[in-house]
């Protein structure tokens, strides 16, 4: 303690020098080419020194370690210059900054409540809150953390009372149903009440992220005037400091009538509120970042509830869960995933501000410990921050064993981060299957793909050269040091579909990279007042995600973004406007600026890089230009770049039409080739031609090969099908008919170049009837089974096919039995006849899923096959088909080249003739097929 007292009682000059040295050291790490002389007491931390919110949090931590003090989150938020930090250090009492992290909060719930029902009949968000108030008004919905104070409990009743008071104020200000109201507030009680207050008033909330510091309010509002104008906001709820800017904003946003604070809105609750329906807009989610054409995703009440229910079903959420979140409420992951999802399922939500996490990431983990949190979430940078910013001594006694799900989403997931986080925090009780990379986007509300519960992260290693040239994700050898790695981001939520398509919107087979599209119950209807962007969003019934990806084993692997949007700290950054503005600066070659994201190989996070061409050679002039570029970037993007690179002329690569080739320029930067001596003109031309034509030639070649193969496959089928159909119809003996079919099926596969591998043929030996069951992935399945099985059997098919002349006649001639699907009484009679047929020694073939779907996964099995086997006392033979879906999906007649494997399992003998025995047969057969299939288990979805 004596040493600490000595440290904080040194002279002001010593304190000042040590503080500036700390600032300089960190700035040099962030910006190696910066001028140390710029670090002065009154230099702006963000605009002049380039410290964004994350680097400011790192600076705060270093100052705490240097001076053995504890600084508050408010000091982090309000400090504008090193002088502000010096005052904070001087005033701070000597204490160990981590000491308070391990004392349990007084208001933490002692015991987890019993599981309760959820409002599954509710059709609106307000209906959800009303349901909880009616059934459990005093139940705590969330605990709100504020600095070091004990967490503040907010019940369902208190939440609605506050919302109704805000709604009354909005109505008093003349807000009408269907109008938009913007919220620009930090995480807190006011935000919660205002969001639901706007809904109760019949209006539409438009969340906008607040400025990090009050002094940034003016430039922040100017930057977001475009969003307010596009939303046609009539009222803005924000902090009191914004009132002085009302005139400025009203001149930019003609619809904006009023700027108010939450206190201005509180009234006695209104007795009559506007009606709200499931098809009303619940809120508009604007993509963050700077863009000339704001895109506000329209999300209706029905969309949100559909997505919340799908996510809850996937993770088996209920009221015994405890969700710990620091995610901002202006972002869909924090607003919908954390708050509204917790509210729906009556989870206890532990809510802290993003600033709390940024200033001391360990508080997030200790909140999990104290409250025995079961679910939490964060983007990749949050996990990196925990790895880099939390010292071991701050974790003594930490227990993360209560967590069952720790989502990682909202930005690219780094394989290195996943491994390192699991390795380090496994020592603190974190189970290796808890971390769950997920995928979602605002256009789907929030969630789109989650991994199976309990599986843990899945990392795919693929051949680099094959992927770069052919866009095919071929698994790499274990010792391949050049292999690319991608993290599986989950499988589609129940009711949702994903597909990967080529440039012609034709679906690609597994492990082929293309454009990722989705559809599902919460898909947005479009962008608010932006018909052009809405048209670009849709491809028939599918929506574009803007991502490139491939699918393998039912999981989606994201590889890159189609456009040049940069995701940093959970925000989308659009480079075009800023590139233009920097190009206007004196000393910069106009049109020769590139902004891109580059992954830091050590941390796995994406860094923001600005590269500008200049002819300046004087060091002072170059340093001044770098400072001006940082200022411009900060003004337009709301954050400083991580690196400003001044490059010689003709460094930045362009297309023949003059467009910036950002990926190629990024590659140049990452290879350290900036400033290399220019090559001869002929060499540059040859390189440009090679770089631009070779990929296009390959793409065209792939498309032509696919078209030619598809045409060849169709030709083969239509040449063989009439011959085989005719022979089957006219031949008098069943054995002859099956011989023709079998040879025709094998000939078709062989001529189509489809390798057929059959495993377990010895299990077909022997006499006696079997009930054969197989998964159903494609219309090719029947052909493959005919080519594989060495004896006649009876297909069991839906009765509708019996009335079709061509198909019905053919199926009757090969012994197909038809069953009624819709008339229960007739269906029971058909089932008895089939059981009798099996008892007479006839083998039967069922596709017990009853139908097929284009997405990978094994659906629930119907009972017919297993009831017949149990009643006839004959074994079930499970067969697994792999590869047929990639060749020919259920919703297309465009075949693609591929291979097929057939895995014949051990026969399963029934252990009785009753219903229970049939259920056991079904479950055993399905589990064996699922284990061999390697696709998702979709038993919980409706077939």
Dist CA 205 CA 160 (whole Å): 16
Mean pLDDT of the chain: 85
Question: What is the mean pLDDT of the segment spanning 873-899?
Answer: 89
Give me the pLDDT at residue 312, please: 96
Dist CA 883 CA 781 (whole Å): 10
**What CATH number does domain 574-678 carry, 2.40.30.40, 3.30.300.30, 3.40.50.2000, 3.50.30.10?**
3.30.300.30
Question: What is the mean pLDDT of the segment spanning 30-40?
Answer: 77
Locate 171 and state its tokens: 């109505």
Give me the pLDDT at residue 274, please: 94
863 confidence band (pLDDT: 50, 70, 90): confident
Q: Which residue has the higher pLDDT, 700 or 577?
A: 700
3 confidence band (pLDDT: 50, 70, 90): very low
Q: Determine the Cα angle at 231 with ends 225 and 234, to 5°.
A: 85
The three-class DSSP label of residue 67 is helix
Give me the pLDDT at residue 254, please: 87
* 880 neighbors 775 (Cβ within 8 angstroms): yes
Give me the pLDDT at residue 410, please: 84
Give me the pLDDT at residue 766, please: 74
Question: What is the mean pLDDT of the segment spanning 602-609?
Answer: 73
* Residue 566 β-bridge partners: 573
Dist CA 770 CA 764 (whole Å): 9
Locate 7 and state its tokens: 């440290």
Nearest to 598 by CA among 575, 627, 578: 575
Read off the DSSP letter of residue 276. -
Give me the pLDDT at residue 397, please: 94
Give me the pLDDT at residue 289, please: 42
Query: What secondary structure does DSSP assign to 175-241, as a single string?
Result: --TT-EEEE---SSHHHHHHHHHHHHTT-EEEE-PPPSSGGGHHHHHHHTHHHHHHHTEEEEE--GG
Residue 612 has pLDDT above 80, yes or no: yes
Residue 251 vs residues 127, 179, 191, 225, 608: alpha-carbon distances, Å: 37, 19, 26, 10, 33
Give me the pLDDT at residue 279, please: 96
Q: How far apart are the first and last CA of the chain?
A: 68
Structural domain boundaries in the chain: 2-97, 119-138+153-276, 457-561, 574-678, 709-938
Dist CA 881 CA 778 (whole Å): 10
* 76 neighbors 57 (Cβ within 8 angstroms): yes
Q: Which residue has the higher pLDDT, 736 or 702?
A: 736
Residue 112 vs residues 88, 371, 667, 683: alpha-carbon distances, Å: 40, 9, 51, 70
Residue 405 has pLDDT above 50, yes or no: yes
Give me the pLDDT at residue 161, please: 96
* 933 neighbors 789 (Cβ within 8 angstroms): no
Residue for token digits 């700077």?
290
Q: Per mean pLDDT, which of 431-435, 567-571, 670-674, 740-744 is the most reliable?
A: 431-435
* Helix 362-371 with 380-389: angle, nearest 10 deg: 100
Question: What is the mean pLDDT of the segment spanning 104-126?
Answer: 70
The three-class DSSP label of residue 735 is helix
The tens digit of pLDDT for each residue in 656-702 reads 445 677 877 888 888 787 765 555 555 555 654 555 566 667 778 77
Give me the pLDDT at residue 758, please: 93
Question: What is the mean pLDDT of the segment spanning 861-872?
Answer: 85
Locate 451 and state its tokens: 């991994």
Residue 169 has pLDDT above 70, yes or no: yes
How many CA within 13 A on the CB side of residue 626? 23
The three-class DSSP label of residue 894 is coil
Residue 17 vs residues 10, 20, 578, 673, 739: alpha-carbon distances, Å: 11, 5, 36, 37, 92
Positive or negative, the Cα torsion across 433, 437, 438, 442? positive
Residue 130 has pLDDT above 90, yes or no: yes
Beta strands in 724-833 (DSSP E): 756-759, 771-774, 794-798, 817-819
Q: Determine the Cα angle at 600 with ends 597 and 604, to 5°.
A: 105
The tens digit of pLDDT for each residue in 482-539 reads 788 999 999 999 999 999 999 889 999 999 999 999 999 999 999 999 999 999 999 9
Residue 135 has pLDDT above 90, yes or no: yes
**What CATH number does domain 709-938 carry, 3.40.1130, 3.30.420, 3.40.720, 3.30.479?**
3.40.1130
CATH number for the domain running over 2-97? 1.10.1200.10
Q: Comparing 34-38, 42-46, 63-67, 873-877, which segment has the lowest mean pLDDT?
A: 34-38
Beta strands in 657-770 (DSSP E): 756-759
* Residue 418 β-bridge partners: none
Give me the pLDDT at residue 816, please: 81
* Helix 681-730 with 734-751: angle, nearest 10 deg: 170
Nearest to 164 by CA among 289, 265, 248: 265
The tens digit of pLDDT for each residue in 368-379 reads 999 999 999 999
Give me the pLDDT at residue 218, please: 63
Q: Per mean pLDDT, which of 145-159, 485-499, 645-659, 695-709 is the most reliable?
A: 485-499
Locate 263 and state its tokens: 């206190």
Residue 552 vs residues 470, 472, 499, 734, 899: alpha-carbon distances, Å: 16, 11, 11, 41, 15
* Helix 824-839 with 864-872: angle, nearest 10 deg: 40
Q: Which residue has the higher pLDDT, 619 or 635?
A: 619
Give me the pLDDT at residue 114, please: 63
Nearest to 406 by CA among 443, 451, 445: 451
Residue 138 vs residues 129, 142, 371, 829: alpha-carbon distances, Å: 12, 11, 19, 55
Residue 4 vs residues 23, 60, 102, 726, 903: alpha-carbon distances, Å: 21, 18, 21, 96, 71
792 confidence band (pLDDT: 50, 70, 90): confident
Q: Which residue has the higher pLDDT, 850 or 825?
A: 850
* 346 neighbors 322 (Cβ within 8 angstroms): no
Class of domain 457-561: mainly beta
Read off the DSSP letter of residue 335. I
Nearest to 339 by CA among 593, 609, 143, 550: 143
Q: Comparing 299-313, 399-413, 828-842, which segment has the lowest mean pLDDT?
A: 828-842
* 475 neighbors 461 (Cβ within 8 angstroms): yes
Q: What is the CA radius of gyration of the chain?
A: 32
Give me the pLDDT at residue 579, please: 82
CATH topology of domain 119-138+153-276: Rossmann fold (3.40.50)
Question: What is the mean pLDDT of the segment spanning 40-66?
Answer: 81
- Predicted TM-score (pTM) of the model is 0.79
Dist CA 143 CA 164 (whole Å): 20
* Helix 734-751 with 781-788: angle, nearest 10 deg: 110
Give me the pLDDT at residue 105, please: 46
């Amino acid at each position: 303690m004596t040493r600490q007292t000595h440290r904080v009682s040194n002279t002001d000059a010593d304190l000042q020098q040590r503080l500036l040295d700390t600032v300089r050291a960190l700035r040099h790490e962030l910006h190696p080419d910066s001028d140390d002389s710029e670090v002065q007491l009154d230099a702006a931390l963000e605009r002049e020194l380039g410290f964004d919110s994350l680097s400011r949090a790192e600076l705060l931590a270093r100052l705490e370690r240097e001076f053995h003090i504890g600084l508050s989150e408010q000091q982090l938020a309000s400090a504008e210059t090193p002088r502000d930090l010096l005052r904070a250090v001087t005033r701070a009492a000597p204490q160990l900054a981590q000491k308070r992290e391990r004392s349990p909060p007084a208001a933490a719930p002692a015991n987890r409540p019993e599981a309760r029902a959820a409002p599954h009949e509710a059709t609106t968000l307000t209906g959800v809150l009303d349901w909880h108030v009616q059934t459990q008004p005093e139940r705590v919905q969330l605990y709100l953390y504020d600095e070091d104070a004990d967490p503040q409990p907010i019940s369902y009743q208190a939440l609605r009372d506050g919302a109704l008071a805000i709604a009354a104020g909005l109505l008093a200000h003349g807000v009408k149903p269907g109008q938009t109201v913007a919220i620009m507030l930090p995480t807190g009680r006011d935000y919660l009440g205002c969001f639901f207050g706007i809904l109760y008033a019949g209006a539409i909330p438009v969340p906008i992220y607040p400025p990090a510091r009050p002094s940034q309010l003016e430039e922040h509002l100017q930057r977001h005037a475009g969003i307010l104008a596009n939303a046609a906001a009539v009222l803005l709820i924000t902090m009191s400091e914004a009132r002085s800017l009302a005139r400025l904003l009203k001149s930019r946003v003609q619809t904006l009538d009023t700027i108010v604070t939450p206190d201005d809105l509180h009234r006695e609750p209104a007795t009559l509120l506007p009606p709200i329906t499931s098809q009303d807009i619940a809120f508009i989610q604007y993509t963050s970042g700077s863009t000339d054409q704001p895109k506000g995703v329209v999300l209706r009440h029905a969309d949100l509830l559909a997505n919340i229910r799908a996510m809850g079903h996937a993770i088996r959420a209920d009221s015994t869960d405890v969700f710990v979140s620091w995610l901002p409420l202006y972002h869909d992951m924090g607003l919908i995933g954390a708050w509204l999802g917790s509210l729906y399922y009556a989870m206890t939500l532990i809510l802290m501000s993003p600033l709390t996490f940024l200033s001391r990431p360990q508080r997030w983990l200790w909140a999990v410990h104290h409250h025995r949190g079961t679910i939490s979430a964060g983007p990749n940078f949050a996990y990196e921050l925990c790895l880099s910013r939390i010292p071991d001594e701050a974790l003594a006694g930490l227990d993360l064993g209560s967590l069952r799900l720790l989502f990682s989403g909202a930005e690219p997931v780094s394989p290195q981060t996943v491994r390192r986080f699991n390795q380090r925090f496994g020592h603190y009780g974190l189970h290796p299957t808890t971390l769950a990379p997920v995928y979602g986007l605002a256009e789907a509300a929030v969630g789109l793909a989650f991994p199976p519960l309990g599986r843990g992260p899945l990392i795919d290693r693929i051949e680099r050269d094959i992927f770069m040239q052919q866009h095919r994700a071929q698994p790499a050898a274990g010792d391949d040091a050049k292999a690319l790695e991608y993290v599986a981001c989950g499988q589609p939520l129940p009711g949702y579909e994903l597909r990967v398509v080529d440039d012609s919107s034709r679906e690609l087979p597994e492990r082929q990279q293309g454009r990722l599209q989705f559809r599902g119950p919460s898909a947005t209807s479009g962008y608010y007042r932006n018909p052009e962007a809405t048209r670009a969003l849709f491809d028939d019934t599918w929506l574009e995600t803007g991502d490139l990806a491939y699918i393998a084993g039912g999981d989606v692997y994201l590889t890159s973004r189609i456009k040049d949007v940069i995701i940093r700290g959970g925000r989308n950054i659009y480079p075009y406007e800023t590139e233009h503005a920097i190009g206007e600066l004196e000393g910069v070659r106009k049109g020769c600026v590139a902004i891109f994201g580059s992954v830091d190989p050590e941390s796995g996070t994406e860094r923001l890089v600005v590269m500008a061409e200049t002819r300046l050679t004087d060091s002072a002039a170059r340093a001044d230009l770098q400072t001006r570029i940082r200022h411009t970037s900060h003004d337009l993007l709301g954050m400083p770049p991580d690196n400003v690179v001044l490059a010689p002329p003709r460094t930045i690569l362009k297309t023949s039409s003059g467009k910036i080739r950002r990926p190629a320029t990024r590659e140049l930067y990452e290879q350290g080739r900036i400033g290399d001596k220019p090559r001869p003109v002929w060499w540059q031309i040859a390189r440009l031609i090679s770089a631009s034509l070779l990929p296009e030639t390959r793409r065209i070649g792939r498309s032509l090969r696919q078209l030619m193969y598809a045409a060849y496959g169709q030709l083969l089928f239509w040449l063989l099908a009439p011959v085989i159909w005719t022979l089957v119809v006219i031949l008098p003996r069943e054995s002859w008919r099956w011989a023709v079919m079998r040879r025709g099926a094998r000939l078709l596969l062989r001529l189509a170049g489809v390798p057929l591998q059959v495993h377990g043929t010895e299990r077909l030996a022997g006499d006696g009837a079997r009930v054969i069951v197989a998964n159903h992935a494609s219309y090719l399945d029947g052909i493959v089974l005919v080519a594989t099985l060495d004896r006649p059997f009876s297909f069991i098919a839906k009765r509708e096919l019996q009335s079709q002349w061509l198909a019905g006649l053919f199926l009757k001639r090969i012994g197909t039995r038809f069953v009624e699907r819709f008339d229960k009484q007739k269906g029971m009679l058909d089932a008895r006849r089939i059981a009798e047929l099996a008892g007479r020694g006839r083998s039967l073939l069922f596709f017990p899923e009853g139908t097929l779907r284009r997405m990978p996964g094994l659906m629930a099995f119907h009972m017919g096959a297993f009831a017949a086997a149990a009643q006839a006392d004959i074994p079930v033979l499970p067969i697994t088909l792999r590869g047929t879906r990639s060749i020919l999906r259920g919703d297309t007649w465009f075949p693609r080249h591929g291979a097929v494997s057939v895995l014949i399992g051990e026969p399963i003998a029934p252990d009785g003739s009753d219903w229970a025995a049939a259920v056991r047969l079904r479950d055993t057969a399905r589990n064996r097929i699922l284990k061999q299939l390697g696709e998702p288990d979709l038993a919980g979805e409706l077939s």
